[in-house]
Structure 1
Amino acid sequence: MKNSSPEKENTYSSRESWPPYTYRDYQDIAPETYNTFMEFLSTENTSNKVMELQPWISFCDSRCTFCYYPNNPYSLSLMDPYLEALKKELMMYAKTKYVQTSEFDEIVLGGGTPSLMSKDQMFGLIKFCEENFNTVDDYFIKITGSSRSFDRDKLVAAAEYGVYQVDMGAQTFDNKLRRMLNLPDSAEHVAEEIRTARKLGLCVCIDIMYNIPGQTLESWTNTVKKAIELDTEVDAYCLEVYPETVLYKQMQEGKAPPQADQELTKQMYTTAYELFKEAGYKPIGHDRYSRDEWHEKENCINGWPWAGILTTGAGCFMGYLQRFSYSNIENAHDYIAAVNEGRFPIAKLSESTEKDIMRKVMTRLYIRLPVDKLEFKEKFGKLPEEVYPEQLKRLKAKGLIEIDEKEIKLTELGDLWKANIAWEFTEQK
């Protein structure tokens, strides 16, 4: 990336951070789509792709100023009724023919902050999933949490149970920025919890963010170096500040500094890319840097868009089963009520057309995966070059992709612009 020509680096006027087809684009649930989805669930899964099972614990005991995700304030009295409803929803799916003929290679407790659960609640939920869903022999268990609620006892219990990975949202190791973002503990405490988990043999994946308001290149570089020093897997995101967040309001009122300009943002990205590369990491998935060979093989990524993530719980939004994408009711009380009425608690549900699926196949480039040209033709009757001749010609001329007789893949320069590349295959932004 250091040797990219200046002309080619000026490929786009601005750099996109996110691709199309996020949960914000899903349509509100309609009776016809719901009925079609129910019919789909009554069919056999013939995709030959394994899936990820992702029950959500959508509670948080504090809210970061940048957070736009749907979650619920933590309530000790609500946790048991919530878990009861969550298991009911899981069983609603488990009883369908589609799920009964599916296999899962990951059980991921997402959220939210699953580490707020007690040990009994946490491993009781995992056990419930193991007993009611078909898992492959070598499936993995992951638990999302915060460094504040992932205490040593829970980490020890996770290691003893056989949990493979814990995810922690470190975000930054700059304490000044942590205070601005309302992150509840210090950088030193986060690092100590990570060290504890690593000593127990747990894989640790952390989120870190660049383009935080007021963040300097030096601060970002120090955070990247700390992540490498702590021997973590890393998801390195560009912070996008949404209007509904506290941080957006603070920026509008001048109570928080502005974000970096485009040039500094690109510099932060390329700095991290080079530092991780020098430390033996590979860029994989959305924004991950990994030294773990298994992460390169994760089916929830490699199977896109043919496989699936079966996600459940209040506010979950990463659910997709082949051509269907969905998110659930966000409010925990409303979610519990819907499940107790015996209905799937879906709030938004979209069914992709064939054109949508073709575009989603091309977004494999965004998650740093090649597009298999022969598979594309087998699915759609045409090669990608026949469907997207102008886009592919333009991207190749800019040095962003390589095309041979078998596949289309990103170049190293293309990695910088992978979200922009994904948008090339939509009708319009």
Structure 2
Amino acid sequence: MNNSTSSTKRPTRVYDCFSDHDIGTVHGGGGGSRTKTGGPHLDAVYKEIMQKKEALFDRFGYIHIPYCSMRCKYCGFYKYSISSAHIDRFVELLCVQLKNTAGFPYTKTAPFKGFYFGGGTPTALDVSQLKRILTILNRDYAFADDREITIESTVRELNDQKISLFKEHGVERLSIGVQTFNDEIRSYLGRKTSGLEVESFLKKLRKKEFTVAIDLIYGLPGQTMDSWIEDIKRFIDLGIDGISLYFLRIFPQSPLKKEIDKGKTPLMVETSEKMEMFLWARDYLFQNCFRQIGADHFGRNHERNEYLLATYHNSDIFPFGMGAGGKVDHLSFFNTLDFNRYEKMISAGNTPAMGGFIKDDDAVYMDYLNGQILTGCCDLSKIDRMFQKNTLEIFKDLIEELENKGLLSIQGDLIILTGWGCCWHSHVNTEFGKAYDRRFHSSEEAFDLTCSGESLAPHHPMIGHRSHTQ
């Protein structure tokens, strides 16, 4: 994609782009028709699909481990403590779900390109629990030769035993929730390790020949442009493979939100300065030979991040564990986050879904288009061949509007997100969904994804890629 931002048109104010919305809060307007389903009907649809003997899409697995040893102040997704009485039972039920799914004809139609362990903190599980899960994957699932198994972790939760276990069981990639190397900010967030200890640990993982990626968050309490620049430079000096740059989201029920309301947080920068942090980091990463894989993810060397690309390419993502979301064929669904419901459904031999929907062809088209836009460089000619559409004509007015706002540009058959467009990627995609619905559907009402009073897990493809919760 175009790595230059020097000629990018910038809005005079960040909020000139999209009213008064905050970044990362808009998920509606997907475009296309989605027939809502749930309960016994969803289970019946799922089991019918799983009897198919041919597959239309590449496939990945997503395993959600909703347990942590501690809750980070900014986290809005924390569900269960690692000390929960039911964690052993959860692992047992997860293994049952993995075994049952492996037995369906649809699962066997093609090899898996990878699995992704997210949470929560997957490495909060002990060695024996992790070994049980990895053993089932390697025994019961067929994998492509270039597979990629990724496990998220923190420095605190990843010891030598777990590292050895991962090497023995073919884990290729580790995603480490660093968030910042700054000791003062780490202390405020409750992190027990220093920035130097984190650096030493990441160097150790490199020597073990894992592909290593980290998360950094911009906009943290006490963070300044200078401390952010130092974080990025320290990352570059480590020589590791990938990095995600996440805007700090303030979740209503998080400890951080409560401290903000009480006026107890260190000084926090304004939204416009957060955007400048992202733009500076993006430019600096390009200068150091990184390529942009997604709107907020960058890689070099061995970094592929196949799971992220799978969410962009409308691949099948088989969801396992409480709170996991994904899709098989044209059915998108999300598992319950409630342990008792999960236990009851798995014990009865049913899919543990709390709700979902069946996509029509328009919804598949829009999901693929949205995914390609998130890569930063969307090839319209490829999409039009795949779906027999004229995308440039369908979105002519919107594309002109977004170009005028400095969020994207058209270069031949390519839609290129600018640096500002990457900052506002969730909103850009939402606008495409709304424009499609206005043109082809009578209702503009966004589909309600919160069935049964539960909320989606952060990695759910219907939310988009998450802000790291660790």
Contact 2:314 2:367 in 1 (8 A): no
Instruction: Give the letter for the 1:185 counterpart.
Output: T
Q: What does residue range 282-301 of structure 1 map to in structure 2 within 5 Å?
A: 282-295=291-304, 298=306, 300-301=308-309
CA deviation after TM superposition for structure 1 residue 375, in Å:
4.5
Q: Partner residue of 2:322?
A: 314
Cα 1:231/1:45, change in 2 over 3 Å: farther
Q: What is aligned with 1:83?
A: 91
Match in the other structure for 2:7: 4
The counterpart of 1:123, out of the listed 113, 128, 131, is 131
- Cα pair 1:94 1:100 within 8 Å, conserved: yes
User: How far apart are 1:257 and its partner, in Å?
Assistant: 4.0
Q: For the residues of structure 2 that align with 1:186 and 1:81, how far apart are their CA atoms? A: 34
Cα distance between partner residues in 2 of 1:21 and 1:358: 16
Report the Cα distance in structure 1 between the residues aligned to 2:291 and 2:324, rounded to whole angstroms. Answer: 29
Deviation at 1:6, TM superposition (A): 5.2
1:124-182 Cα shifts (integer Å, max 9, x gaps): 31121122122112322222222112012322332344421112111111222223323
**Structure 2 length-normalised TM:** 0.81
Aligned pair partner of 1:329 in 315, 332, 336: 336
SS of equivalent to 2:433: coil
Say whether the 8 Å CA contact 1:8–1:398 is kept in structure 2. Answer: yes
Q: SS state of the match for residue 193, structure 1?
A: helix
Distance 1:286 1:82, change over 3 A: farther
Task: Provide the C-alpha distance between the structure 1 equivalents of 2:410 and 2:97, rounded to a whole number of angstroms.
Answer: 44
Choose 240-249 or 109-118, whichever is displaced more: 109-118
2:295–2:425 CA contact under 8 A, matched in 1: no
Equivalent residue for 1:361, pick from 343, 364, 368 = 368
- The amino acid that maps onto 2:7 is S
Contact kept? 1:104, 1:136, Cα under 8 Å: yes
1:422 to 2:429 alignment: yes
Corresponding residue SS for 1:330:
coil
The alpha-carbon distance between structure 1 residues 127 and 26, as it changes in their structure 2 partners (threshold 3 A), is farther
Q: From 262, 274, 290, give the equivalent of 2:271.
A: 262
Distance in 1, matches of 2:223 and 2:348, equals 48
Report the residue type matching 1:12 in the other structure: C
Letter in 2 for 1:167: S
Q: Answer yes or no: is 1:107 the counterpart of 2:115.
A: yes
Structure 2 unaligned regions, length at least 5 = 435-443, 447-470
Higher mean C-alpha deviation, range 269-278 or range 88-97? 88-97
Work out whether residues 142 and 166 of structure 1, in 8 Å CA contact, stay in contact via their aligned partners in 2. yes
Q: Tell me if the contact between 2:29 and 2:431 (Cα under 8 Å) persists in the aligned partners.
A: no
Residue 68 of structure 2 contacts residue 78 of structure 2 at CA under 8 Å; is this kept in 1? Answer: no
Aligned partner of 1:349 in structure 2 is 356
Retained in 1: the 8 A contact 2:377–2:414?
A: yes
* Equivalent in the alignment of 1:217: 225
Which residue number corresponds to residue 462 of structure 2? none
Task: Give the aligned partner of residue 171 of structure 1.
Answer: 179
8 Å Cα contact 1:365-1:410 kept in structure 2: no
CA offsets 1:353-377 (integer angstroms, 9 cap, x no match): 4443333223124422544434433
2:438 corresponds in structure 1 to none
Asked if the contact 2:60–2:317 (Cα under 8 Å) also holds between the matched residues in 1, the reply is yes
> Alpha carbons of 1:45 and 1:255: their partners in 2 closer, same or farther (altered >3 Å)?
farther
Shift of 1:407: 4.1
TM-score computed with the length of structure 1 as normaliser: 0.88
Matched, 1:35 2:59: no
**8 Å Cα contact 2:138/2:169 also seen in 1:** no
Query: Which of 145, 153, 176 in structure 2 is aligned with 1:145?
Result: 153
Give the RMSD, CA atoms, in angstroms: 3.0
Q: What is the percentage of aligned positions where both structures have the same residue?
A: 22
Aligned length, in residue pairs: 425
Distance 2:25 2:47 in 1: 30
Give deviations 1:379-402, integer Å, cap 9, x for gaps. Answer: 543211232221123234555434
SS at match of 2:389: coil
Match of 2:239? 231
Mapped partners of 1:171, 1:43: distance in 2: 43
Kept after mapping to 2: 8 A contact 1:70/1:330: no
Letter in 2 for 1:424: E
Q: 2:347 aligns with which of 340, 348, 359?
A: 340
CA distance, structure 1, for counterparts of residue 46 and residue 61 of structure 2: 18
Distance 2:296 2:10 in 1: 25
Whether the 8 Å contact between 2:291 and 2:300 is mirrored in structure 1 is yes
Q: Which amino acid aligns with 1:199?
A: K
DSSP-derived class of the 1:426 partner = helix
